[in-house]
Amino acid sequence: MRNMRGDAMRGLAVFISDIRNCKSREAELRRINKELTNIRQRFRADKTLDGYQKKKYVCKLLFIFLLGHDIDFGYMEAVNLLSSNKYTEKQIGYLFISVIMNSSTEMKQLIIQNIRNDIQSRNPIFINLALQCVANIGDKEMATAFTNEIPRLLISGDTIDPVKQSAALCLLRLHRTSSDSLQLNTEWTARIIHLLNDQHLVKRFLLITNRKQKRNDRLFFQGVATAAVSLIDALVKRNPDEYKGCVNLAVSRLSRIVTSSYTDFQDYTYYFVPAPWLCVKLLRLLQNYPPPDDPSVRSRLNECLDTILNKAQEPLKSKKVQHSNARNAVLFEAINLIIHMDCESSLLVRACNQLGQFLQNRETNLRYLALESMCLLATSEFSHEAVKKHQETVINALKSERDVSVRQRAVDLLYAMCDRSNAEDIVQEMLTYLETADYTIREEMVLKIAILSEKYAIDYKWYLDIMLKLIRIAGDFVSEEVWYRVIQVVVNRNDVQSYAAKIAFEALQAPACHENMIKVAGYILGEYGNLIALDPRSTPMIQFDLLHSKYHLCSPTTRSLLLSTYMKFINLFPEIKQYVQDVLRHDSNYRSSDVEIQQRAIEYLRLSEICSPTVLATVLEIMPPYPEKQSPLLVRLKQKKPLMEADGSSEPSVTTATHAEDVPKFAETAIHLNQQQQQQQQQQQQQQQNGLLVSFDTNEFSSHYDESTSYSLPSTITTTTTTTIQSTKKFLFKHSDIIFENDLIQIGIKGEASKNILHVEFYYGNKTNFNLSNISTNITLLGELESELRLNIEPIKTTIDPKAQIKQLGTIECLKEFRDLPKINFAFFYSNVPQKIDFSFPLYINKFLEKAEMDSNNFFLRWRNLDKPGQECQNIFPAKYPMNHEDCRQKLEGFGWSNLTGIDVNSDNFCGAVHPLRGSSIDIHPNARWQQNGLTVAGGNGYGNGINQLYNPWGLYVDGDQTIYVADRRNHRIVEWKWGATSGQVVAGGNGQGSGAHQLSDPFDVIVDKETDSLIICDRSNRRVVRWPRRNGTSGETNISNISCWGLTMDENGSLYVTDNGKAEVRRYRRGKSQGTVVAGGNGSGNRLDQLSDPHYVFVDRDHSVYVSDGENHRVMKWVEGAKQGIVVAGGQGQGNGLTQLYCPRGVVVDQLGTVYVADGWNARIMRWPKGATQGSVIVGGNGEGGQSNQLNEPFGLSFDRHGNLYVVDYRNHRIQKFNIDSNA
């Protein structure tokens, strides 16, 4: 903005000062409203306002708008300023319409006319203002209106350089936003291209003698050239043939910049690099075309590239980072052009050698870019061998790099440089690294290892060894495509089938065998187990017993596969037929709740009983070879990296326009049962044709989310004429609606979630004129849903009066993530005829998500902290239907996401946040404050053993519905206090102090394991950890013995972390294991960083880092997973009451930002230590020991609920205090 002396607006300055001096928002609103009233009166009453006054008032309106207030007047005055001949007035007018006015304003034509007047004027300053405005707010209408004026400015010989630059950038902006409306005359093509030519510039230099003026002209033209290259690059992408003449001029311009024999632009350098931005843009422009056909042009281009590579070898001319950044920017773009041309072997090898030097550079970004570029070089036949020379360096980067993105690029490069000569070494190194690789790249690494081991396998026995080792190391990340492919290879190659059966059998003998390994072994042994049956170590019975020992540990899908294997065994080994039949007859299979298992067990048993051996051999014959198709692993890898080819090379994204398909419609008439039976028979026949393996194109979740699923009603409904079962998919975005309706009954559902608790209401409406009697309803959880959801549904009335409605209430607790839908069975009598309706309950995981509101600073603060493996995911998919901004917003909000406005500068992007279902770390705003007076929510009635009393409580657990579980130490019991209750309920112990299974002795801590719906209790004096049923449990089960336990916690995988202050250590116990692994301490009691002394409470975050309150060392320690020593994150300055000190810390909690909250026991306060801070702050307490509401007396355990409210065990006051979060903070 130009500085115009004597043009300062004192009234505007005074108004801004008044706003800044306001002490409250109310005062600010009063001042703004007063000013708006004054401005409105001036605009209405005084028709003779001069330009200065209009400018001042428009500036005030603009300032008010920027403060976040709507402006609904002053538009015409702002537009009138566009007609002024004064620069500052016209500038303010353009600023106002650029900021405030939108594309739908009624004054659009008036604005366009004023812009046209300025563009056609002879004042370059006014032209620039108009062009900048068009670039800011230009749309299709403006692109159409100025499709002739702006290009004429660009190519006119009378236009000065600053205007040309603005015209080029304005055209570029319109091309990007409204390319369809911007139609450039083909006659202008050559003149636009010739903006790259500088002949006129050289002559002008000869006429100019003033050195300073000469430099300014050069700067202007350099800006024009840069802007022109950007414009031409965009135009080339749309119509490359029309602009192919730019290649020769671009090469000429590039040569004059980088070749030392010329002086063009040599006096304009950026930290000793001549015109780096223009160089980069020219190099990028040339990548739109193949290598030049003209030998002279190609030679000149090669000379430029060779010069750039030579200059990269020269010593740095400056130690400043700007110099190296500019030089490297030009170098990397030149390397990209060399790779794009892929025809000059010498340049490719030189580029590879230069990148190899960067692999050992101290700058992380350079190493990343070098690895990325070498991935592309590895795909060229000219440079592949040169890339392979850096194999050891890349492997070292894979092992030693700290940045996960660099390690991922190292994996990509190893994959790209792999061939038959180094395949074994690379695959082995990738396998070794896979054991410790980041979770975000493990699945991709598994795919790459599988592809390489198959592609370059000389001996397929080596391939099988690698694949089984791969499944053993990273079974959780082995997708179905991977183990399917192993089966295909084995089936198609007769020479490895015996070896495959042998190593599969040996793999099953491992104590811990992953489920994917069981699937592979089960399939292979079912087909080729007879090939190793003569070995006494793998007789038929041993094979069967070994497989069946894994059966009960597997999911229903794997069990179904194993049943097929058992059936194959009957054909292969008739001597074990009776044992297989016994398994099939067992109630767990024959009467299994899983439909697939039950169906297979019944059919296989019947088949084995009625079929002769000949027929059985025909039915169960060996699988034929699979047809050779494109490897599904390559398809899967492209899905993981949609912009990368499977060989590692980049692939440009191509968008194909397709017509939107019609939205599927649901049939409103009932589908007869016999039609379903026919469909099931067809599916079964197709499955038999495909064998045990499902087609690679099958989506295993399609049955749950298929919108075209048809629902049928049992034949008992005889009086209905119209039946409608609404799509369950719509409930992804709605919380209440009708789920079923026919002529008799209407059923509706309404749900409201509170974190992982859904409060649901069912409405049943009688549409008839008669009573509906014998009403019954049942919600069934099939398969894994039994362990994923917990239901508590109230009984329903047995009769519905005519034209009346009844309501049924219930709660559903989500214990963990789920995919299947519960089934609802509704039955009643109508006119003494039984009716039955079965349908799916539209319950999805998003019903348990809670919207999270936050501002821009908080959003990006949290976003930047998502830097750990597994915390970020991206998915790109095509839209089936036209995208509508408002519809998308409503869908996202209905799905459970908050719609955060003002986060992204691009209004087309949506930003949202949710509180997740569960997680080890809590979500607390970094500036949160809590009310200083606590509320007693448990105990507080003196010490004693009454149900409304506590006696020296120690630990606590706050559930999702704000139910509190308290370790009531001196009463030797665990007490449950519902939200708002005045007394508790004993849920464990309470039978006196003792060591019996029904007793506890000094329980120190308690947590809830929702996976098993049980309490886990630190039974201190009995030196054990006890698991106690949460519902109606009368006794507990000892999980861990002989341990001086103090604190407990559990991670998302169900692993238990226990502090043993006798051994000064923390151990992790995997689910179902009684032997633990030391994860903190374990080196005796002491104050070293690898020691603990009297550890108390423990907390584990999402990264499995362990936080321990180290009592006698008066500190809180953090032990990163796998670390040999910890780091001090709070205290550690000796005992005391300073802000840098702790005095016997107790409970500890860590939020999502790494902030530590600790109960400072003997200082009677709760402290907050931000991540990396050297001192903490007191958030509650700190008012001396006492029993007042703002005091604590030796706080022990602490916890937060989902709202951020703080709960503290007030040990010596025999109470639990709740400190509500301050909503005004």
Distance CA 394, CA 410 (A): 6
pLDDT attached to residue 481: 85
Distance CA 1169, CA 1158 (A): 8
Q: What is the mean pLDDT of residues 660-684?
A: 33
- CB of 1124 closer than 8 Å to CB of 1113: no
Q: What percent of the chain has pLDDT over 90?
A: 34
Q: Where in the chain is the domain with CATH 2.60.40.1230?
A: 728-847
Q: What is the mean pLDDT of residues 817-837?
A: 87
From residue 40, give the alpha-carbon distance in Å to each of 99, 417, 487: 20, 71, 79
Between 872 and 1016, residue with greater pLDDT: 1016
Helix (H) or strand (E) holding 779, with range, is strand 772-780
Strands 833-840 and 823-830: antiparallel
Please, where are the H alpha helices in 239-260? 246-258
DSSP string, 197-208: --HHHHHHHHH-
What is the band of 867 on the pLDDT scale with cuts at 50, 70, 90?
low
Half-sphere exposure (Cβ direction) of 725: Cα atoms closer than 13 Å: 19
- CB of 632 closer than 8 Å to CB of 586: no
What is the band of 667 on the pLDDT scale with cuts at 50, 70, 90?
very low
Q: CB neighbours (10 Å) of residue 222?
A: 22
Distance CA 535, CA 307 (A): 70
Instruction: Choose among 942, 940, 941, 1022: nearest CA to 988.
Output: 1022
pLDDT higher than 80, residue 568: yes
Lowest-confidence pick of 79-88, 290-299, 759-768, 888-897 = 888-897
* pLDDT tens, residue by residue, 583-632: 999 988 888 899 999 999 999 999 988 888 888 888 888 888 877 655 66
pLDDT higher than 80, residue 885: no
Between 708 and 400, residue with greater pLDDT: 400
pLDDT attached to residue 987: 94
Give the range with max mean pLDDT: 316-320, 959-963, 1205-1209: 1205-1209
pLDDT attached to residue 965: 96
Residue 669: helix, strand or coil by DSSP? coil
Between 384 and 1168, residue with greater pLDDT: 1168
pLDDT attached to residue 652: 31
pLDDT attached to residue 734: 74
pLDDT attached to residue 694: 30
pLDDT higher than 90, residue 44: no
Interacting residues of 141 by C-beta distance below 8 A, sequence separation 6+: 103, 108, 112, 181
pLDDT higher than 60, residue 1214: yes
Sign of CA dihedral 1075, 1076, 1078, 1084: negative
* pLDDT tens, residue by residue, 696-733: 232 322 223 233 333 333 333 333 333 444 556 667 77
From residue 537, give the alpha-carbon distance in Å to each of 180, 384, 437, 511, 570: 74, 48, 36, 17, 20
- pTM of the full structure: 0.51
Q: What is the mean pLDDT of residues 996-1002?
A: 93
- The amino acid that residue 738 corresponds to is I
The residue ranges of DSSP E strands in 1073-1223, in sequence order, are 1077-1081, 1095-1100, 1106-1110, 1115-1119, 1127-1131, 1145-1150, 1156-1160, 1165-1169, 1177-1181, 1195-1200, 1206-1210, 1215-1219
Q: What percent of the chain has pLDDT over 70?
A: 85
What tokens appear for 132 in the block? Answer: 């900048």
Lowest-confidence pick of 261-270, 326-335, 834-843, 963-972 = 261-270
pLDDT attached to residue 706: 33
Between 658 and 401, residue with greater pLDDT: 401
What tokens appear for 194 in the block? Answer: 């010739």
- CB of 446 closer than 8 Å to CB of 434: yes
What tokens appear for 119 in the block? Answer: 């563009």
Interacting residues of 1122 by C-beta distance below 8 A, sequence separation 6+: none
* pLDDT tens, residue by residue, 548-562: 999 998 999 999 999
Q: CB neighbours (10 Å) of residue 799?
A: 14
pLDDT attached to residue 950: 94
Identify the burial level of 704 via C-beta atoms within 10 angstroms of its C-beta, where 0-12 means exposed, 13-18 middle and 19 or more buried.
middle
Nearest 5 degrees, angle CA 667-CA 668-CA 669? 95
Half-sphere exposure (Cβ direction) of 30: Cα atoms closer than 13 Å: 8
pLDDT higher than 60, residue 212: no
* pLDDT tens, residue by residue, 134-193: 888 888 888 888 888 888 888 887 888 888 888 889 888 888 887 777 777 777 888 888
Q: What is the mean pLDDT of residues 1207-1221?
A: 95
Tokens 């080029």 sit on residue: 168
Sign of CA dihedral 25, 31, 33, 35: negative
Q: What is the mean pLDDT of residues 404-424?
A: 90
pLDDT higher than 50, residue 756: yes
Q: CB neighbours (10 Å) of residue 148?
A: 12
pLDDT higher than 60, residue 644: no
Report the CATH superfamily, name and number, of domain 728-847. Gamma-adaptin ear (GAE) domain (2.60.40.1230)
What tokens appear for 358 in the block? Answer: 């960067």
Residue 714: helix, strand or coil by DSSP? coil
Beta bridge partners of 725: 740
Average pLDDT, the chain: 82
Distance CA 437, CA 383 (A): 29
* pLDDT tens, residue by residue, 974-984: 999 998 898 99
pLDDT higher than 60, residue 673: no
pLDDT attached to residue 208: 36
Between 405 and 671, residue with greater pLDDT: 405
Q: What is the mean pLDDT of residues 295-300?
A: 88
pLDDT attached to residue 880: 66
pLDDT attached to residue 634: 60
Distance CA 502, CA 504 (A): 6
Lowest-confidence pick of 484-488, 685-689, 904-908, 997-1001 = 685-689
* pLDDT tens, residue by residue, 1133-1166: 999 999 999 999 999 999 877 899 999 999 999 9
- CB of 1143 closer than 8 Å to CB of 1164: no
pLDDT attached to residue 1026: 95
Residue 60: helix, strand or coil by DSSP? helix
Q: What is the mean pLDDT of residues 1165-1173?
A: 91
Report the CATH superfamily, name and number, of domain 935-1219. TolB, C-terminal domain (2.120.10.30)
The residue ranges of DSSP E strands in 31-176, in sequence order, are none
Helix (H) or strand (E) holding 270, with range, is strand 269-270
Q: Where in the chain is the domain with CATH 2.120.10.30?
A: 935-1219
Distance CA 1149, CA 1131 (A): 15
Between 261 and 861, residue with greater pLDDT: 861
Interacting residues of 308 by C-beta distance below 8 A, sequence separation 6+: 258, 330, 331, 334
- CB of 510 closer than 8 Å to CB of 474: no
Q: What is the mean pLDDT of residues 368-388?
A: 89
Between 61 and 44, residue with greater pLDDT: 61
Mapped to the 3 state alphabet, what secondary structure does 477-513 carry?
A: HCCHHHHHHHHHHHHHCHHHHHHHHHHHHHHHCCCCC
What is the band of 868 on the pLDDT scale with cuts at 50, 70, 90?
low
Instruction: Choose among 1099, 1064, 1074, 969: nearest CA to 1021.
Output: 969
Tokens 């599927």 sit on residue: 664
* pLDDT tens, residue by residue, 929-956: 999 999 999 999 999 999 999 999 999 9
1024 alpha carbon, distance to own chain's centre: 39
DSSP string, 919-971: -SSB---TT--B-SS-EEEEE-S-BSSSTT-BSSEEEEEE-TTS-EEEEEGGG
* pLDDT tens, residue by residue, 742-754: 888 989 888 877 6
Distance CA 811, CA 685 (A): 42
What tokens appear for 548 in the block? Answer: 């069946």
- CB of 463 closer than 8 Å to CB of 453: yes
What tokens appear for 12 in the block? Answer: 């505007």
